[in-house]
Amino acid sequence: MTAFPLCAPVAAAQNKIAPPYFGIHVVDEKTGRGVPLAELRTVNDVSYYTDSAGWVAFHEPGLMGREVYFGVESAGYECAKDGFGFRGTRLTPKAGTTAVIKVTRTNVAERLYRITGQGVYRDSSLLGLPVPITEPNLNAGVLGQDSVQAVPYRGRLFWLWGDTNLPDYPLGNFHTTAATSPLPGTDGVRPGVGIDLTYFTDPARPDRVRKMVPMTEPGVVWLFGLLTVTDESGQDSLVAHFSRRKSLAEETEHGLVRFDDAAGVFKKIKTFDRDNKWRFPRENAIRVRGTDGDYFYFASPFCHTRVKAVWGDILDPSHYEALEVDPETGTYRWQRERPPTTQTEESRLVKAGRLAKENARYQIDDAKTGTPVTFHRASITWNEYRKRWVMIGTQQGGKGAPSYLGEVWYAEADDVAGPWGKAVKVATHPNYSFYNPRHHTFFDEDGGKTIYFEGTYTKSFTSNPIATPRYEYNQLLYRLDLDDERLKAAR
């Protein structure tokens, strides 16, 4: 057993970089692609995190020109341990030169880059290397963004986020932030390379994002269930459910908003009763075309609420339907009177013998261990390649789980409403959160064989006292190959 580092071979890179920096490139040993969110830690506990291209620009007085040990750590990627259990390697930093550290991906999904926040390509910029987006270091003052929604709208992609951190104050905009970007294939746009976001900005402060739901009443405003539907005049309209809140737990008002193209903001069109807890667009909206007409289903985390894709029905709470267990037959049915049966409630019914397990829809087990997986939020979409509905979901809790809201799973079903079977974990974020995941079907490639999903990366809801610099409270994008052998257990 050796005490020397066993990290994959270190090679010199060919990039020409700008002094005084030493460039360290952490790459996937199989693909050669840079790995974002990799931590390099010196013996005296100084940490550096790779940017979205996998680069660290290193210039540390006292450590240049001598051998330096770097511990290497990255969720879902690893180096081999040495004889003392350390994972890392030794480099000799010299200005204007570079080195490569190869790591092995243990995640099924491949982490691609950070979409939002400051310094997305900070280190690449310092090293003088090319970057794939127009604003690589600060776009409209955005330092952090929570929970994404995105839909194609009028020839572009329309993006929404919740609370947004700005340089002059945490949660500097808590009335929703929005941006647009070109559709994939437009001007060579490829999701695997990067996303150029054009934010809606404050007319008086073009360096600051706009309040997209400029309500005068107090409280934060969140939008979910974003969808496009033909309105009363026959035009495509962007609609979402709004929730104005005093706190995370206390809601003060909710209803529907509609995007006003001329004003460039969302305006309230409907207010719902406070006791309406499910009859409205929720979380991730999915349009499903069927023999009985088109419906919008809402994954929260399962598709157990729906409404016809008709303007008047969306505005009328009495037209929303929920999927519940029929107490007489022990099977599921759609109805309008009661809220949907949840995964937790279904589990209780199965244990009590009131619902046969073969009739359950949400009892999902880890394909490897058989352990039940409880979901917090999920994205459910039709996949043309698999000819099935696929789910990307974040686990909530779980005995022995590395995180409370950071474990991401993949599952399949024949129907948008289930039943769902076994699931395979595709990404992990130990003692960190990755919540409200969203599969972007408009990014699907190779006929749906390759899919992309993103989520909010934050230490919220963890015991972790240390935030990852620049990555904290921002959006990470992953890519998943549905032909991966490890996903077969979910079929």
Which pLDDT does position 330 carry in this prediction?
Answer: 84
Is 126 within the bounds of a domain?
no
Which pLDDT does position 329 carry in this prediction?
Answer: 84
Which pLDDT does position 247 carry in this prediction?
Answer: 82
| pLDDT average, residue stretch 91-118 | 97
Q: What is the pLDDT of residues 399-418, one digit of tens each?
A: 999 999 999 999 999 999 99
Is 308 within the bounds of a domain?
yes
Which pLDDT does position 392 carry in this prediction?
Answer: 98
398 and 444 part of one domain? yes
Domain coverage including residue 184: 139-282
The answer to whether residue 86 scores a pLDDT higher than 80 is yes
Which pLDDT does position 3 carry in this prediction?
Answer: 43
Q: How confident is the model at residue 11 (pLDDT cuts 50, 70, 90)?
A: low
| pLDDT average, residue stretch 444-467 | 97
The answer to whether residue 456 scores a pLDDT higher than 70 is yes
Is 129 within the bounds of a domain?
no
Which pLDDT does position 13 carry in this prediction?
Answer: 60
Is 254 within the bounds of a domain?
yes
Q: What is the pLDDT of residues 58-73, one digit of tens each?
A: 999 999 999 999 999 9
Q: Measuring CA to CA, which residue among 408, 343, 377 is closest to residue 225?
A: 377
Is 84 within the bounds of a domain?
yes
353 and 466 part of one domain? yes
Long-range contacts of 158-165 (CB under 8 A, 24+ apart): 158/226, 158/238, 158/259, 159/197, 160/212, 160/223, 160/226, 160/240, 161/116, 161/475, 162/220, 162/222, 162/223, 163/220, 163/222, 164/209, 165/473
352 and 470 part of one domain? yes
Which pLDDT does position 246 carry in this prediction?
Answer: 87
The answer to whether residue 4 scores a pLDDT higher than 70 is no
Q: How confident is the model at residue 12 (pLDDT cuts 50, 70, 90)?
A: low
302 and 340 part of one domain? yes
Q: What is the pLDDT of residues 116-171, one digit of tens each?
A: 999 999 999 999 999 999 999 999 999 999 999 999 999 999 999 999 999 999 88
Last residue of a domain, one of 248, 282, 316: 282
Last residue of a domain, one of 92, 108, 124: 108
Is 258 within the bounds of a domain?
yes
Which string of DSSP letters, residue by residue, matches 165-232?
EETTEEEEE-S-EEEEEEPTTGGG--TTT----EE-EETTEEEEE--SS--SSSSEEEEEEEEEEE-T
Which pLDDT does position 189 carry in this prediction?
Answer: 78
236 and 384 part of one domain? no
Q: Where is average pLDDT lowest: 100-109, 244-253, 421-430?
A: 244-253
Spatial separation of the C-alpha atoms in residues 380 and 389, rounded to whole Å: 7
Which pLDDT does position 2 carry in this prediction?
Answer: 38
Q: How confident is the model at residue 9 (pLDDT cuts 50, 70, 90)?
A: low
| pLDDT average, residue stretch 364-383 | 96
Q: Where is average pLDDT lowest: 1-15, 243-257, 392-406?
A: 1-15
The answer to whether residue 461 scores a pLDDT higher than 90 is yes
Last residue of a domain, one of 108, 127, 153: 108
Contact 474, 138 (CB under 8 A): no
Domain count, the chain: 3
Which pLDDT does position 171 carry in this prediction?
Answer: 80
268 and 319 part of one domain? no
Contact 141, 119 (CB under 8 A): no
Q: Give percent of the chain above pLDDT 90.
A: 87
390 and 254 part of one domain? no
Q: Is 485 helix (H, G, I), strand (E, B) or coil?
A: helix
236 and 370 part of one domain? no
Q: pTM of the entire structure? A: 0.95
Is 1 within the bounds of a domain?
no
299 and 275 part of one domain? no
Which pLDDT does position 8 carry in this prediction?
Answer: 58
Q: How confident is the model at residue 292 (pLDDT cuts 50, 70, 90)?
A: confident
Which pLDDT does position 5 carry in this prediction?
Answer: 46
Q: Is 73 exposed, middle or buried (0-12, 13-18, 19+ CB in 10 A)?
A: middle
294 and 277 part of one domain? no
| pLDDT average, residue stretch 204-229 | 94
Is 11 within the bounds of a domain?
no
185 and 209 part of one domain? yes
343 and 482 part of one domain? yes
The answer to whether residue 6 scores a pLDDT higher than 60 is no
